[in-house]
Amino acid sequence: MLNGLLKKFLLILLVVVVYQNWGKIERLFNPSQVVSEQTHAKANVVLYATDWCGYCKLTRRFLDQKGIPYKEFDIEKDAEARKAYEALGGRGIPLIDVNGTLIRGYDPDEILAALK
């Protein structure tokens, strides 16, 4: 019985880890979806987010899938990040700073446009 519980626990743990890293895993199998290397060179992306936000998770997954490097700050856990977020106008998450262009909410098209 204990062996069966351990197997179930490990399976659930594997599913959770795969779900949390799906963007990185997908990028391994679909390198054609990765944004050009030129975009990488000039990309300066900062994500202000929280752990619990669904749109923040979608944004992380999108950035990972496209191979776009980014810095992330949790505005609930980091007081300095919260101050920077508020200085940018705050008002909702995620707040993404892409090369100086502020994007409020999850908007893949706006992110790609700001990278060009």
* pLDDT of 19: 76
- Residue 68: half-sphere exposure toward Cβ, Cα within 13 Å: 30
Please tell me whether the overall predicted TM-score, pTM, comes out greater than 0.85 for this model: no
Select the more confidently predicted residue: 26 or 89.
89
Q: For 14-27, how does the pLDDT look when each residue is reduced to its tens digit (9 = 90+)?
A: 888 777 777 777 66
Number of structural domains (the chain) is: 1
Residue range(s) defining the domain that contains residue 16: 2-115
CATH code (residue 97): 3.40.30.10
Instruction: Give residues with Cβ within 8 angstroms of 92, minimum separation 6.
Output: 104, 105
Rounded to whole angstroms, the maximal C-alpha distance in the chain is 57
Q: Which residues, other chains included, contact 72 with Cβ-Cβ below 8 Å and sequence gap of 6+?
A: 46, 47, 48, 49, 60
